[in-house]
Structure 1
Amino acid sequence: MDILQPVYTEKTECQDCYKCVRECPSKAILVENNHAAIIPELCVSCGHCVLVCPSKAKRVRDDLGRAKQLISLGEKVVVSLAPSFKSEFHDTKPEQLISAIKKLGVWAVSETAIGADIVSSYTAVQLQDSRKGNKTLQNGKQQKLFISSACPAAVEYIKKYYPDYSAYIQDCGSPLLSHCRFLKKNLGSEIKIIFIGPCIAKKREADSWEEIDLAISFSDLRRWFSEKNIMPALETPGDGESFVPFNSAKGALYPIEGGMIESVNKYTGLEGVNTMAVSGLKNFEQVLANLDNDNLSEPLFLEFLSCQGGCIAGPLGNQADSTALKNLSIKKYAQNLPDTLNTGFDRIQAVLPVAQVQREDFTEEQIQTALRSVGKFSPADEMNCGGCGYDTCRSFSKAMLAGRAEKSMCVSYMRKLAHKKANGLIRAIPSGAVIVDKNMGIIECNEIFAKLLGPEITAMYEAKPGLEGADLSKIVPFYRFFQDVIFEEGLDLLEREVKEGNYTYHVTVFVIEKGESAGGVIQDITDPQMRKGRIVSQARKVISKNLSVVQQIAFLLGENAAETESILNSIIESFGGDFGNGDDDE
């Protein structure tokens, strides 16, 4: 567990469901000893795993304590407030929220959207230069493809996993970095800046740039308000409660999909420039597929946001409200703001430093060996079910080779393995054993069970080992015991002695899954003294030497190992009597 990273796993809470593996767009998850941990070098801090983890094992680094420390040290703290604040605190006026934040000990509050306006003005100039043929790449070719640098998670994702497109990412700083440098220049270099918003990746920015002291979330802010008994919606702000040094313009639209494009358009217009807004990291691949700068006839600007729907859907914001309502609240707030700000700002040229991910190359022989290790011997065996979290069996095999995945993650492999072990145990039991479903169809039985029922059933078993699908009600007269255990509430175990012709059988029936299946163990006790000690001894060996197998049976059938073991123990007890451990009869 690396709690110094923006996102980490609380391993004790991880339920090894692999949902994070399945959902992570960068597959930055390492599964080891049945627990999923985040690989910092591969993670882009999008926070999607935090949202989807059912056991809440994915955690976000808590920086609220550091924020409080800055206040307690008497630092001149300025809050850079994300433009999505209006969708988060939709029932609160801006001046009320400013007043509430300042009650925490903050010196001033400013809109991060000012930085967005700085980025918009710079982007507009770049795009117009490209339209005129004045924007070139390092290789001397004209740049026609532009990718926004506003979203740190999107920038990191492209630079790590689509490095061929890194050259097309804007070289201007993100809205947050631009805003912080603007604040330091205008309010003094000694100020400390705390970003507040719904974004985890801003913590990554704060770790990378000295101008940003730290980043906390809207949920952190609510927690802070609660600790201080502050209710923003009930604040009565004074006349001086306003954003410093002034309000933003249409940069306030950045948190919604297409908002950056609309803001850029207000500065110089986008005539002759094609634009496209894309949100959700998993959608990037389709957009970038075969996209070639040299084949574009006109400039193309791609607004990339990592969160589906935009920043208003950020992982550390309010997830209860609909995205539509959040979108509308942002648009309504921006309606009353000017189209542009003074374009005389210093333009920040900076790109988030990201190390390119070195992709592992494996030979076809290595991949096939890995596939065979999980029972995939031909393309027909490659189910590509996605149960392991990877889209294809080949992707899973590569993850195993890279040390990021374990064989136990393959559901079909583990099911087959458990089934083999279960069959092995059933056949090793020194008595007749059978498992049936609720319709009395046999799921599995051993050879001893067939032999106890006579030559006709034995012949059927030899023709089809296990008798899968056979109707128990047509084979034994005591099938109703199984029906009773499966369907009767409160009845989980039933033991009876049954006479059938010249034979007497001891029948033990136990529930496996209520309403679905049951198991039975049948012994021939026609001669009570015959082989009794051997049965006890062999059953004890089955339990003592095959506990792991018992657990696999329980896993296969949906029950816990302890319950399965207790049932086998009851069989021993029913035959133990005066024979002790049965060693004398072995």
Structure 2
Amino acid sequence: MNSANPVYTLRNECQDCYKCVRVCAVKAIKIQNGRAEVLPERCVACGACVANCPAGAKRIRSDLEKVRNLLLQKKKIIASLAPSWRGVFEYTPAKMIAVLQALGFAAASETALGAQEVSIRAAQILNAQNGGLHISSACPVIVDYVRLYKPEFASCIMPLASPLLTHAKLLKNLYGADCTVVFIGPCIGKKNEADRQSDLLAAALTFDDLKYWIKEAYLDPETLSDDGQKFTPENAYEGALYPLDGGMNETLRRCGVKDNIQLINICSLELFGDALKNFEASKLAAPVFIEALACVGGCIAGPCAAGKRSRLLMIADILQHTQYRKNIPAQPRVIEPRQYAPANIAPKQYSLEEMQAALKKLGKYTPEDELNCSGCGYNSCRDLAQALLDGAAEVSMCASYMRKTATRKAAAMLKSMPSALIMLDKDLKVLEVNEAFNKMFRENEMTDFFPLFKTVLRTGQDLRKEHYIYKNRLYDLNVFAVEQNEIVGALITDVTRTQEGREKVAGKAREVIAKNIATVQEIASLLGEHMVETEALLNSIAEDYSVKQEN
């Protein structure tokens, strides 16, 4: 566990289901000793693993304690509140501000103000283009994805900081460089922005963090006075559309982007990656701008949107309360230029021999063996083999290989087992027997055992019978439930010869005693009162051996 990263794993909670591997678009997961670890250098902080982990082992780093410490230092902290707050918290703006101030914030401002500045500048940049592909820089997850996994498109990212960082710069320009900005929203990726741009952004809290903080502080929002509460420095307008699918493109239209510029919105990390496959910019007839958001449905569907409120109601609330300016300024008040350098994570190339060796470890000797079932979380058997060579995966992740291996081992064990084994279904129809069973019984001879099987099927409790007499032979029976009311099994051991052998040994011991009784008596006459004890001792040799076989 490395809780310094935005996303990390609680190892003891991980149930080795590999679901995080399946849902991770960039496979930033390493399986070690059956536990899934997040690889921070590959992770884009999309939060898919957090949202889908059935065991709750994937966690998001909380920066709540960091913010509390800033408050203790009497810092002037301004909350940069993501525009999606309206879809999560059913408060009025004044009430929302009152809650934040009750927690210690000096003021609250809408991140959407930064979005408005970004849209004005982005429209200017696009209007100056004659062609080419242009990708929005609003979503930090998309930006990291391009830099790490599509580095050839890094130069296509708009040369602007995100709306959040632009907003932070605006606030510092207005209230002084010593003011501290803390983001609150539904995004995990913003934590990376705070880590990398601590001069602008001190910390990033999630809506989950805020709800927890409100509860922990025993705040009752209804009792807080909201008279005269306003966002600083002013209310946001069309920038409040940013968390919606197509919201940024709508602001660009309102900012006067030219009609020939093709505005496309993609809200899915996977779909965005697919859209860039085999792309050739030279074939574009006009400038193309992609408003790219990692979360399906936009930021209102972020991994930390905190709640199960209807998505439709969230969208409706944002649209209902968004106000529009009749005249949008021609120039932005503030802008934060940014160039995004590629940080290519190129997969290591392995030789054909190395790949074949890795595939053989997975039981894949021919192309027909490669099922590509994705049960391991990877899209193909070869992808798993690649991860195996990278040290990010384990052989045990391949379910088909493990099943075949288990089947072979079980078959070998059953074949060499000296005891008889039989498996029956709930109707007492034989499912499986081993060779030893065929040597001891016929299947139709099992009817005498049916009452035992029915009892175990009904109760689910194992049953043991020693020296069970059947057709003049003695058997030790172990009847067990494979699945209650469905499948029952029995392990049957013939102990007849063992019992006969014990009786013979006991008989010979008694003969020895009888033959040596005279000697015993002679010794006893010398030992006097110890005679009875001596005879009892010798008799116990035989009796004890006999008793053991009865137990």
- Output the TM-score relative to the length of structure 1: 0.82
Could you tell me which amino acid in structure 1 is paired with residue 106 of structure 2?
Answer: W
Structure 2 counterpart SS, 1:476: helix
The alpha-carbon distance between structure 1 residues 3 and 442, as it changes in their structure 2 partners (threshold 3 A), is same
2:178 corresponds to 1:190: yes
Cross-structure match for 1:40 = 40
| Structure 2: gaps (5+ residues) | 504-544
Could you tell me which amino acid in structure 1 is paired with residue 33 of structure 2?
Answer: N
Cross-structure match for 1:237 = 226
The alpha-carbon distance between structure 1 residues 229 and 270, as it changes in their structure 2 partners (threshold 3 A), is farther
Structure 1 counterpart SS, 2:128: helix
Cross-structure match for 2:63 = 63
Which of 112, 129, 145 is equivalent to 1:157? 145
Could you tell me which amino acid in structure 2 is paired with residue 194 of structure 1?
Answer: V
Cross-structure match for 2:465 = 495
Could you tell me which amino acid in structure 2 is paired with residue 113 of structure 1?
Answer: A
Mean Cα deviation higher: 443-452 or 210-219: 443-452
Trace 1:27-426 onto structure 2 (pairs within 5 A).
27-89=27-89, 91-130=90-129, 133=130, 143-209=131-197, 210-239=199-228, 241-335=229-323, 340-341=328-329, 343-351=331-339, 355-426=343-414
Deviations 1:352-409 (A, max 9, x none): 5663212111223222211111212222222222221112111111111110000111
Contact 2:20 2:29 survives alignment (8 Å): yes
Deviations 1:394-425 (A, max 9, x none): 11111111100001111111122222222333
Q: CA deviation at 1:501?
A: 5.1
Could you tell me which amino acid in structure 2 is paired with residue 98 of structure 1?
Answer: I
Cross-structure match for 1:555 = none
C-alpha distance in 2 between matches for 1:290 and 1:200 = 30
Could you tell me which amino acid in structure 2 is paired with residue 118 of structure 1?
Answer: E
Contact 2:419 2:437 survives alignment (8 Å): yes
Contact 1:208 1:352 survives alignment (8 Å): no
Mean Cα deviation higher: 179-188 or 485-494: 485-494
Q: CA deviation at 1:117?
A: 0.7
Mean Cα deviation higher: 515-524 or 33-42: 515-524
Could you tell me which amino acid in structure 1 is paired with residue 84 of structure 2?
Answer: S
Q: CA deviation at 1:578?
A: 2.9
Could you tell me which amino acid in structure 2 is paired with residue 77 of structure 1?
Answer: I
CA-based RMSD of the aligned residues comes to 2.5
Cross-structure match for 2:426 = 438
Deviations 1:254-273 (A, max 9, x none): 00110010011110134111
Cross-structure match for 2:489 = 519
Structure 1 counterpart SS, 2:56: coil
Mean Cα deviation higher: 426-435 or 79-88: 426-435
Q: CA deviation at 1:35?
A: 0.6
C-alpha distance in 2 between matches for 1:500 and 1:339 = 98
The alpha-carbon distance between structure 1 residues 485 and 171, as it changes in their structure 2 partners (threshold 3 A), is farther
The alpha-carbon distance between structure 1 residues 353 and 332, as it changes in their structure 2 partners (threshold 3 A), is farther
C-alpha distance in 1 between matches for 2:188 and 2:462 = 50
Could you tell me which amino acid in structure 1 is paired with residue 251 of structure 2?
Answer: S
Cross-structure match for 1:21 = 21
| Structure 1: gaps (5+ residues) | 134-142, 458-471, 534-574, 581-586
Cross-structure match for 2:478 = 508
Q: CA deviation at 1:445?
A: 2.9
Deviations 1:52-105 (A, max 9, x none): 11111111111111111111111111111111111111x211111112111222
C-alpha distance in 2 between matches for 1:177 and 1:354 = 20
Structure 2 counterpart SS, 1:124: helix
The alpha-carbon distance between structure 1 residues 579 and 355, as it changes in their structure 2 partners (threshold 3 A), is farther
- Output the TM-score relative to the length of structure 2: 0.87
Structure 2 counterpart SS, 1:509: strand
Structure 2 counterpart SS, 1:391: coil
Could you tell me which amino acid in structure 1 is paired with residue 189 of structure 2?
Answer: A
C-alpha distance in 2 between matches for 1:121 and 1:432 = 81
C-alpha distance in 2 between matches for 1:368 and 1:440 = 46
Q: CA deviation at 1:490?
A: 5.2
C-alpha distance in 2 between matches for 1:382 and 1:335 = 56
User: What percent identity do the matched residue pairs reach?
Assistant: 37
Deviations 1:424-466 (A, max 9, x none): 333333221223333545444332211112xxx6xxxxxxxxx
C-alpha distance in 1 between matches for 2:221 and 2:330 = 31
Could you tell me which amino acid in structure 2 is paired with residue 518 of structure 1?
Answer: V
Could you tell me which amino acid in structure 1 is paired with residue 127 of structure 2?
Answer: Q
Mean Cα deviation higher: 252-261 or 343-352: 343-352
Structure 1 counterpart SS, 2:348: coil
Structure 2 counterpart SS, 1:78: strand
The alpha-carbon distance between structure 1 residues 189 and 427, as it changes in their structure 2 partners (threshold 3 A), is same
Contact 2:237 2:322 survives alignment (8 Å): yes
Could you tell me which amino acid in structure 1 is paired with residue 416 of structure 2?
Answer: A
Mean Cα deviation higher: 393-402 or 352-361: 352-361
Structure 1 counterpart SS, 2:21: helix
2:446 corresponds to 1:476: yes
The alpha-carbon distance between structure 1 residues 532 and 434, as it changes in their structure 2 partners (threshold 3 A), is farther
Structure 2 counterpart SS, 1:477: helix
Could you tell me which amino acid in structure 2 is paired with residue 372 of structure 1?
Answer: K
Could you tell me which amino acid in structure 2 is paired with residue 128 of structure 1?
Answer: N
The alpha-carbon distance between structure 1 residues 281 and 577, as it changes in their structure 2 partners (threshold 3 A), is farther
Contact 1:434 1:449 survives alignment (8 Å): yes
Deviations 1:5-29 (A, max 9, x none): 1111111111111111111111000
Structure 1 counterpart SS, 2:190: helix
C-alpha distance in 1 between matches for 2:348 and 2:327 = 48
The alpha-carbon distance between structure 1 residues 416 and 443, as it changes in their structure 2 partners (threshold 3 A), is farther
Structure 2 counterpart SS, 1:488: helix
Contact 2:462 2:478 survives alignment (8 Å): no
Contact 2:151 2:342 survives alignment (8 Å): no
Cross-structure match for 1:4 = 4
Q: CA deviation at 1:487?
A: 3.1
C-alpha distance in 1 between matches for 2:45 and 2:502 = 64
Cross-structure match for 1:448 = 436
Count of residue pairs brought into register by the alignment: 509
Structure 2 counterpart SS, 1:343: coil
Could you tell me which amino acid in structure 2 is paired with residue 375 of structure 1?
Answer: G
